[in-house]
Structure 1
Amino acid sequence: MQHAVSNQTKGASFQIWRGVLAGASASLVGIGLARFAYTPLLPAIIGAHWFPASTAAYLGAANLGGYLVGALTAGALVRHARAANVLRAMMLLATIAFVACAYPVSFAWFFAWRLASGISGGALMVLAAPTILAHVAPSRRGFAGGAIFTGVGLGIAASGTIVPLLLRQGLHETWLGLAAVSLVLTIVAWNGWPPHEAPLSHTSDHPHTKPAPTPALRALFAEYGLNAVGLVPHMIFLVDYVARGLGRGVDAGAYYWVLYGLGAIAGPLLSGHLADRAGFGRALRVALLLQLAAVVLPVLSSNAALLMISSVVVGAFTPGIVPLVLGRANELLAHHPAAQKRAWRTATTSFAVMQAASAYGLSFLFSKSGGDYRLLFAIGAAALGVAFIVDVIALRASTSTR
């Protein structure tokens, strides 16, 4: 009997880690490649005259607009189909979008497929981690969530290493190469999703109960949205700033993007581990301060060492902030498990709205300011400063209430 129980336990554990692998593959495809591979491609797209600089940045923002659509529609999708099937379909959509982008038929064509890749990324972000973490013990959710979102960092690092190599063959071949990587990862994840939804705890609310968001939860949504604004300058303009703004070339820009990716690989695991030890609230405040310091560095100096530090730290928290906010939302709704997925959808939507708005807004400011990169980083740093103030005010308010 003990042997049988042991085997069942091992089987359950194996299933969970297969799920974590599937989740990491989904975040790698939907976010790591579908979004971030465009950043090191941007100078090459402009240089190859596929699109002029004034419109190429807007194509990068198209993915962020699609991300918002995906985040908003993910809930409706899983009401009509199993989460596993939706996740598979979104990974396939991202793969098809890579193939389509190998053919710059027109601005509208390219924009539509960049939008589609963003839709897949938004849906994958909303659905993948909660689908897996519902099967993970609460004491290990920080680390497991970090492992899932490490896929984002792996995608960023891959885009900074694979893209320059593929570009030697041409832009067309680069997009097809990314499609091949995406297809392989889709196959890896295909059977890794849980076959059934995790049952709700006996202490949970009725599934249709919708507790009103507390001030702390509303503050968290605002902080996550402001955090998105703080990340956008690095996400879209870092490589272009180094390559064209500082005149150091595409290879130097790709080097900083690799550093960004290396930070992104370690960031989710480190932030998840910190959250498991110190709590998600404290870890989130530390993350906001570190990001603020890192984003303001390019405003103060173009020194190579400082830019390297900025790239690594912002890279670490680009995916590293995600498990912290997801875990903090679950903490605030610890007695309302049925509401946790709704809260995560709302948080992701807040992030997506602010990310898309700031991407379009910063692209507009960039063109109107004659290419003032430091203005973009200053705006990002200001947004992170406001996010930290909101968090401190919310903490004091909740403390005084208790």
Structure 2
Amino acid sequence: MRSQNPVGDPSHATHATHATHAPSATRAEVWRYIFAGLSASLVSIGLARFGFTPLIPELIHQHWFSTSSVIYLGAANLAGYLIGALIARPIGGRIGNQRALRLMMLLITLTFLACAFPLSLAWYFVWRLLSGVAGGVVMVLVAGTILPHVPPASRGRASGAIFLGLGLGIAATGTLIPLLLGMGLRVTWIGLAVLSAVLSAASWFAWPPVQGHKTAAATAHPAPRHVTTANWRIKLLFGQYALMAASAVAPMVFLVDYISRGLGMGTEYGALFWVLYGVGAIVGPPLYGWVADKAGAQNGMALFSVVQVAMLVGVYQSDNHLLLGLYTLVIGMFAPGMVPLAVARVHELLPHHPVQQNLVWSRATVFSAALMALAAYGFSALFNLVHGQHRLMFLGAAVMVVIALLAEFARLADPAGTRQAA
């Protein structure tokens, strides 16, 4: 159950229940669908969001924009992601998921091309915002489009393969971008546009056919209303998950710039550390999911939150390159790995109630996206306020995870989870 919805969007669990009504697909067709989903996640998040991070030092060095402007441009993608998450379902309902996914991949390709020409800060901001909107739409729709065609016994592995694109994108940008930067910043953006266009074209006809089918969730017996609207543990999860997601913003935005400029190690080392972050992003979801299966989602969230705090404090304190590499690897696991943990926690809180699970997960996703966007601009403002002290960004992220951890003490006061929210 936990591995069926590892991505963190409200539609996954709903659409995953379609499987009993979706037409059967051959093994080759399933793999074709998975390839389309992997391509979409790679382009929309792996390249469009994470690909910007290793470019930050060069955007500053080549005087395209000031340091403060570049940081705000990085945050624009997260603001767009919130918008995309909110409008994804209406778009999918109006034009169909498959068409929406294709159009979003084309839009992301266009944003890469537009960013090759720094006409103005407003121009850049709009295109970075649009890249986030497209990413939010893709992340909400992609799993629900594919999983109904995957055999139930294979859905967990299929989900992992689809969203492997996030980690692959991080690793790819860490290796590809330094090569492209040797030919210039404009060529780098155009190169990303070409790669995005190739993946869009290769996956264009790989999406599942449009099918009309009735959802199992629609006929399920919903939980009583008070379970989702008044259960304080669910609201506690909203806050914890949002804080965990927002804490991942600081390493995502500032890590490469800290290595490259803050420690004076240069762009090449910054890209290398970004590859380590990408390796962690590949390892994170299956590892976190395995721990959730063995120890429970709630215990897993507490365990990995403690680990994340230790790693962030380590980055704050250490100048040792080897230790920083280790910290980066572990920190990279957290952002994608926390999603299946949170999904599993929803299922723990609301067993046997798929409709309410979808409702709760939808709200949790919106809360997390909103706080991520606020955190992005908050960290940007703090970075300017402290005159570019990168270390304080990581310390701030650690504080956010500590707050999420402290919330765990609330459950000790009510082990049965019977208290009602106001």
TM-score by length of 1: 0.89
Specify the alignment match of 2:260 in structure 1.
243
Q: Percent identity, please.
A: 46
Amino acid at match of 2:328: S
Q: Indicate the SS of the match to 1:397.
A: coil
- Per the TM alignment, residue 131 of structure 1 is displaced from its structure 2 partner at its CA by 3.5
Amino acid at match of 1:54: S
Q: Indicate the SS of the match to 2:338.
A: helix
Q: Does 1:201 align with 2:216?
A: yes
Among 22, 27, 30, the alignment partner of 2:44 is 30
List structure 1 runs of 4+ shifted beyond 6 angstroms: none
Give me the whole-angstrom Cα distance separating, in 2, the residues matched to 1:199 and 1:276: 30
Specify the alignment match of 1:218 in structure 2.
235
Amino acid at match of 1:64: L
Are the equivalent residues in 2 in contact too, given 1:143–1:269 (CA < 8 A)?
no
Among 112, 137, 155, the alignment partner of 2:126 is 112
Give me the whole-angstrom Cα distance separating, in 2, the residues matched to 1:21 and 1:271: 23
Amino acid at match of 1:79: G
Give me the whole-angstrom Cα distance separating, in 2, the residues matched to 1:397 and 1:18: 48
- Per the TM alignment, residue 189 of structure 1 is displaced from its structure 2 partner at its CA by 3.3
Among 42, 46, 55, the alignment partner of 1:41 is 55
Amino acid at match of 1:295: L
Is 209-218 or 165-174 further displaced after alignment?
209-218
Are the equivalent residues in 1 in contact too, given 2:49–2:132 (CA < 8 A)?
yes
Specify the alignment match of 1:5 in structure 2.
none
Among 138, 156, 162, the alignment partner of 1:148 is 162
Are the equivalent residues in 1 in contact too, given 2:233–2:417 (CA < 8 A)?
no
Amino acid at match of 1:212: T
Are the equivalent residues in 2 in contact too, given 1:140–1:276 (CA < 8 A)?
no
Give me the whole-angstrom Cα distance separating, in 2, the residues matched to 1:188 and 1:19: 12
Give me the whole-angstrom Cα distance separating, in 2, the residues matched to 1:181 and 1:265: 20
CA 182–372 in structure 1, closer or farther in 2 if over 3 Å, else same: same
- Return the structure number with greater relative CO, CA threshold 8 A, min gap 6: 2
Specify the alignment match of 2:251 in structure 1.
234
- Per the TM alignment, residue 394 of structure 1 is displaced from its structure 2 partner at its CA by 4.0
Give me the whole-angstrom Cα distance separating, in 1, the residues matched to 2:243 and 2:389: 21
Across the aligned residues of Structure 1 and Structure 2, the Cα RMSD in angstroms comes to 2.7
Are the equivalent residues in 1 in contact too, given 2:228–2:356 (CA < 8 A)?
no
CA 149–401 in structure 1, closer or farther in 2 if over 3 Å, else same: same
Amino acid at match of 1:302: D
Q: Does 1:280 align with 2:297?
A: yes
CA 10–78 in structure 1, closer or farther in 2 if over 3 Å, else same: closer
Unmatched 5+ residue regions in structure 1? 1-7
Are the equivalent residues in 1 in contact too, given 2:25–2:150 (CA < 8 A)?
no
Is 286-295 or 68-77 further displaced after alignment?
286-295
What is the aligned residue count? 394
Among 61, 64, 71, the alignment partner of 2:75 is 61
Among 195, 199, 202, the alignment partner of 1:181 is 195
Are the equivalent residues in 2 in contact too, given 1:149–1:268 (CA < 8 A)?
no
- Per the TM alignment, residue 380 of structure 1 is displaced from its structure 2 partner at its CA by 0.3
